Structure 1
Amino acid sequence: MRLYYITLNTAEEAQTISHALLRQNLALCTNWFPITCAYRWEGEIVTEPETVLIVKTQAGYRDRLEQVIREQIDYTHCILELTPDSVNAGFLTWLNREIPQRLL
């Protein structure tokens, strides 16, 4: 299993990307929520709202996932891949049933 933590500008972007990933069978489930972000940009510190999208899927889908994201947005963003150490059996059963495992 893999989790992707993706930063976006708006909830609308998160919803559009989420639905594209779900339609293409690249994600089992997604969540998004608003956060506040502070970062350094061109020598200045900027604070602004942001949206985090979490994607739950199998290993081996990163390239396709990034392609879908690039089709929707063209700015610099964070795509962080996480590998959980432990996941409850019921969720893994659902994931394995719905999203094919890919050989790495």
Structure 2
Amino acid sequence: MKLYYVTLNNIDEARQIGRALLEQQLAVCVNWFPITCAYRWQGEITEEPEVVLIVKTQDGYENEIEQLIRQQISYTNFIAEISPTAINPGFLDWLNAEVPLKTLYSSPI
């Protein structure tokens, strides 16, 4: 299982991207919530609203998820892959039933 932590400009973007991920079976569940972002930009500290989208999915979908996000937004945002170390079995059963396991293999040399 993987989680993706994605920053976006607003709730409408998060909703649109989240629903597209669900419709394309790239995620079993998504959450979004508003936050405040503070950062340094050109020597100044700036604060502004932002939205976090959390994507719950199988391992191996990083490229597809990032591609879908890039189709929806044109600015540079943050996308981080997080690997949980423990997940309750009931959630894993649901994930495995809804999002196909991706075959991960390396090609022989």
Corresponding residue number in structure 2 for 1:17: 17
Give the CA deviation at 1:42.
Answer: 2.7
**Is 1:74 matched up with 2:74?**
yes
Task: Describe the SS at the equivalent of 2:80.
Answer: strand
**1:51-74: CA deviations, max 9, x gaps?**
000000000000000011001111
Structure 1 gap ranges (5+): none
1:96 and 2:96 correspond: yes
Residue-by-residue CA offset, 1:2-56 (whole Å, 9 max, x unaligned) = 0000000100000000011111110100000000000122332210000000000
Amino acid corresponding to residue 41 of structure 1 in structure 2: W
**What is aligned with 1:56?**
56
Larger Rg: 2
Partners of 2:12 and 2:42 in 1: how far apart? 27
Aligned partner letter, 1:7? T
Q: How many residues of Structure 1 are paired with residues of Structure 2 in the alignment?
A: 104
- Counterpart-to-counterpart distance in 2, 1:99 and 1:41: 39
Within a 5 Å distance, the mapping from 1:19-58 to structure 2 comes to 19-58=19-58
Question: 2:74 is aligned with what amino acid?
Answer: D
| Secondary structure, aligned partner of 1:64 | helix
CA RMSD, 1 decimal? 0.8
Instruction: Normalising by structure 1, report the TM-score.
Output: 0.97
Partner amino acid, structure 2, of 1:95: L
